[in-house]
Structure 1
């Protein structure tokens, strides 16, 4: 890649502030289905075409999201028992390059611009991968998969629905695997059922009822300590997408409005979502320090210490529930269904079938590419299982034929949970009813598992509105949005937190003005042409 291209990427990355209010694609690790739950369910990978070769191994580097989950005694994201396991058993020696989850795209773009990016770069966000493809930072890999792959090539042939996710400008720029239902059902809402019972309240079913319940949680001392110290609603990175979904919008999606492609941030419905978020903030129903709580540790602390009544997060929160129960043993939780707005009842945010997209740095030579492809074959064939479940008879045992059942929740949490980050391709598939079977059998683990089983069913119960699966992968679109997003975010933050300084309606006037100034009308025209051209592809 040329120095000029690197500079253009650096310029784009510096202008692309990570949205504090934007959601993470996933609170958990990447997981994806296979035909049986115990596929490759051994702690050591079986011998195969992609098994580790004799003699010295070639090195490759791979990005990894740093979620702050590696215990000190385990090491770091760069070096721990699982990175050593990978290097001992896979066909490559892998150097893992951690990037902070909250600033992943900004960090990766900076690394690319400086020529120090990892060989394999992965993200959940297809828009970002398309942006890198259009900038020349990653390369097409169709021929390399055909030439060097066995397991992955066969898997992709058997799962043709993944092709559209991997294809940009007619070429394969990334590889992926299928999501399991637990990562399709990405988001979830939890409520303190014991607080509802104490205050004789019903679970809210509308956006208005949610505000009324939150007010009661704020004002009527639901924790019973006689102090005004409860925060009704806290959240992790998924919160804004959850709120936007109440109003059938998501700031990063395109929608078909009367057959015309429109960007969510310019819609009237988006104004309503901002007004609702502002109302929650102005009434003290959400933690007012959330703007600076970029890693959501304060929100987590409020929840786990029993000071919060509603958590906008994920359907799966083992650690958060376990820690809450340790501090407040009598706490009772219930998964909360999406609440309806004047637009109706939308589903909670749900991901597409494709999991993370793994792209190849454009500066990789063919020798490294061959090594990387064989590594991905190994990960998809056997490696993922150990990353997800740990070592058989140490962290899990097989029950009911081939379902991996956790032996000790605390041991798993300390020694295995963080390793999910390395399973960038996977063949895991689950069912809601397996969750209690897979969990440790102690009373607390079973209580949490039963709650999770209910939560995933709630999360998948209502269809989530997604008019087209992918945003237009046009350079004009990605460049405009990269410039527009931080500007829009600044305006939106001022609307939500600025009191009377800027109303939602006035804020949207500014947002639309900036959209138009940056060429939004022309981009909408290009997006419409792209949609008309790709209608069949987008089904």
Structure 2
């Protein structure tokens, strides 16, 4: 730990030294005031603005997303004046687009989707960064050499446009399913391993009073916004991905498998295995409430559901929640959604004033400094146990550090399943969940998510067509799910293909195939 702190002090000292000197011998380099007076030249403090996802997690007495204990720590320790620009998570790309159009976008912008960054590149909103990395970077440059697997995710047309770090295993794992083991035991059922068995179990959870209150008030499943993605993954027909069918590119929602996705969603709705109001429950708060109050037997959400687990145990102390593996279908067994290896994708605004400051911030982060940005202050928020940060007070951290990890725009965190009991607070529920959480991570990574190509094709015709198609697809699929026998899955898939074709989809498919041949096949 002393070694880590000494390294941080050395880096801070180095950055202050850099800030006091001209980087190019007084030729007016980026950030230089241009004022020279013998040996007393002073360079303006490095400044950079960065976007941050606003998830509504900063308590009012903690400050705001612009200014809080984490932002103050970064500014103090890095020697860089960082201005954070919040963008609401659910409208992040929309907000960034608005800021770009107004000429008010931050110097560094980040998101998780490479497709979006490709769009910004095509619009000329961002710039290549190879020269900046070569000129200003030390630590990040070394990091990239140690992680060549990231290179395909950072480049367009042979130039580097994106800075990123590798995801830890806990960030590669994403979607997850959970099941009430106590309900299975009470009803004499085994954990389902096939889709037919899953439906059978969900029907039993709805019809056989598993909570024993004598009322018909339980459901087969509840979920968050990952619901349809989980069903799609089990059929290897994710609507947001492209698949290779006999070496031909096919968008996920035009595969024959997608018809089975629609049929399953319709069956769950028609039979009341899920709450029918979910169609209008846009933030899924009712779904969450159904689960944490013990009214649903399966929870389709994420592999890590710490808050929901805690609330369920508080409301139903005898509940026993365990991770559930994805089930097989007639097409085989596929894992639930897993992220690609690249984490946050950071791009440089074409109009940024000081690329040196941006690179120096990335250098500072990718060293050990991301650790205290992410976890807070040692002795206050955590103590180190075998090199693993152990929470001192779960309630304190829920308030003071829950929002902090995303400020570490680059990091090297990758916990192991056995680390969770060490990291967790020592109260009974936290320790109980930590053991289950470790098992959930293993389950989430046990079955490989089907991703036929490393990332989606990107070209203007696809973006334009997809923008027009998406609301039509949502309308068609809602009709299939809620519209009774008149709108079956066969009708739905035919309508989806028809609308795609009408919007010029045949040409998009041809261009996607050409993109695959050029960018993926044989590489």
2:473 counterpart residue number? 488
Offset at 1:260? Answer: 0.7
In the alignment of these two chains, the number of paired residues is 498
Matches within 5 A, 1:405-420: 405-420=390-405
Offset at 1:45? Answer: 3.8
Offset at 1:251? Answer: 0.8
Query: Which of 350, 366, 376 is the aligned partner of 1:390?
Result: 376
Q: Is the 8 A contact 1:395 1:408 kept in 2?
A: yes
Query: Which of 347, 367, 381 is the aligned partner of 2:367?
Result: 381
Cα distance in 1 for partners of 2:369, 2:465 equals: 39
Q: Secondary structure at the match of 2:441?
A: helix
Is 1:404 aligned to 2:389, yes or no? yes
Cα distance in 2 for partners of 1:396, 1:71 equals: 20
Is 1:152 aligned to 2:152, yes or no? no
More displaced, 180-189 or 69-78? Answer: 69-78
More displaced, 344-353 or 511-520? Answer: 511-520
Cα distance in 2 for partners of 1:294, 1:76 equals: 25
Offset at 1:439? Answer: 1.9
Q: Is the 8 A contact 1:337 1:459 kept in 2?
A: yes
1:535 counterpart residue number? 520
Q: Secondary structure at the match of 2:403?
A: helix
More displaced, 63-72 or 43-52? Answer: 43-52
Q: Deviations over 1:1-21 (max 9, x none)?
A: xxxxxxxxxxxxxxxxxxxxx
Cα distance in 2 for partners of 1:138, 1:537 equals: 29
Distance of aligned partners of 1:114 and 1:502 in 2 relative to their CA distance in 1, 3 Å threshold: farther
Q: Secondary structure at the match of 2:484?
A: coil
More displaced, 454-463 or 41-50? Answer: 41-50
Q: Is the 8 A contact 1:91 1:378 kept in 2?
A: no
Higher relative contact order (CA 8 A, sep 6+): 1
Query: Which of 430, 439, 463 is the aligned partner of 1:454?
Result: 439
Q: Deviations over 1:478-532 (max 9, x none)?
A: 3322332232222222222333452222122221112112222112212212212
Cα distance in 2 for partners of 1:45, 1:282 equals: 59
Cα distance in 2 for partners of 1:398, 1:441 equals: 14
1:142 counterpart residue number? 130
Is 1:473 aligned to 2:458, yes or no? yes
Query: Which of 47, 50, 57 is the aligned partner of 2:10?
Result: 47
Cα distance in 1 for partners of 2:205, 2:267 equals: 16
Distance of aligned partners of 1:276 and 1:84 in 2 relative to their CA distance in 1, 3 Å threshold: same
Offset at 1:41? Answer: 5.6
Offset at 1:150? Answer: 1.5
Is 1:344 aligned to 2:332, yes or no? yes
Q: With structure 2 as the length reference, what TM-score do the two structures score? A: 0.90
Q: Secondary structure at the match of 1:98?
A: strand
Offset at 1:39? Answer: 11
Matches within 5 A, 1:214-293: 214-293=202-281
Offset at 1:56? Answer: 5.8
Offset at 1:223? Answer: 2.2
Cα distance in 2 for partners of 1:180, 1:118 equals: 27
Q: Is the 8 A contact 2:473 2:496 kept in 1?
A: yes
Cα distance in 2 for partners of 1:362, 1:338 equals: 43
Q: Deviations over 1:211-265 (max 9, x none)?
A: 1211222222222233333233222222221110111111111111001111112
Offset at 1:362? Answer: 2.1
Say what the alpha-carbon RMSD is for the aligned residues. Answer: 2.2
Cα distance in 1 for partners of 2:239, 2:410 equals: 28
Q: Is the 8 A contact 1:43 1:391 kept in 2?
A: no
1:32 counterpart residue number? none
Rg larger in structure: 2
Offset at 1:160? Answer: 1.0
Q: Is the 8 A contact 2:453 2:520 kept in 1?
A: no
1:433 counterpart residue number? 418
Q: With structure 1 as the length reference, what TM-score do the two structures score? A: 0.87
Q: Secondary structure at the match of 2:279?
A: coil
Matches within 5 A, 1:314-353: 314-353=302-341
Matches within 5 A, 1:123-134: 123-134=111-122
Which segments of 5 or more consecutive residues in structure 1 lack a partner in the other structure? 1-37
Q: Is the 8 A contact 1:42 1:391 kept in 2?
A: no
More displaced, 490-499 or 517-526? Answer: 490-499
Distance of aligned partners of 1:529 and 1:433 in 2 relative to their CA distance in 1, 3 Å threshold: same
1:195 counterpart residue number? 183
Distance of aligned partners of 1:74 and 1:309 in 2 relative to their CA distance in 1, 3 Å threshold: farther
Distance of aligned partners of 1:500 and 1:517 in 2 relative to their CA distance in 1, 3 Å threshold: same
Query: Which of 60, 75, 85 is the aligned partner of 2:63?
Result: 75
Cα distance in 2 for partners of 1:290, 1:496 equals: 11
Distance of aligned partners of 1:301 and 1:95 in 2 relative to their CA distance in 1, 3 Å threshold: farther
Matches within 5 A, 1:359-370: 359-365=347-353, 367=354, 369-370=355-356
More displaced, 327-336 or 285-294? Answer: 285-294
